Amino acid sequence: MTAVEDQSDALADEDEDEDDEVVPPVAGGDSEASLEEVLAKREASSEEADEAEEESLLTAEPDERVGVLPAKVAPQQETEFVCKNCFLVKHRSQLADKRRMLCKDCA
């Protein structure tokens, strides 16, 4: 199973858990207190889930981390420059102001 499938399964499980939390109406005027309790429980469960996810990312091997793609960064080529305004690497043909090193979009 891939990391993307694991993540989608985890999201599906979370959606199912949220649907299960149906609280019956309370007779009388104590509905505000029960609402506060439900919100506190939801907040506590979401914090626990966040902590568990963070812990799993810290203990996972680099290749197992969800959302982290291995990328190889190539060094800047002689035919490229970095625009001083938008900080994008562009081809020299996009250089509009050689003195200020601005691309055509930013000049």
Q: Give the three-state DSSP class for 91.
A: strand
Separation CA 11–CA 17 (nearest Å): 10
Output 13-16 pairs: Cβ under 8 A, ≥24 positions apart: 14/49
Q: What is the pLDDT of residues 65-80, one digit of tens each?
A: 556 666 788 899 999 9
* Residue 14 near residue 20, CB atoms below 8 Å: no
Q: What is the pLDDT of residues 81-101, one digit of tens each?
A: 999 999 999 999 999 999 999
Give CA torsion, residues 66, 70, 76, 79, to 10 deg.
Answer: -100
How is the chain split into domains, by residue range?
A: 3-64, 72-107
pTM above 0.75, yes or no: no
Query: Is the per-residue pLDDT at 35 higher than 60?
Result: yes
The pLDDT, as a whole number, for residue 87 is: 94
Q: In angstroms, what CA-CA distances link 50 with 8, 11, 46, 47?
A: 16, 13, 6, 5
Query: Is the per-residue pLDDT at 41 higher than 70?
Result: yes
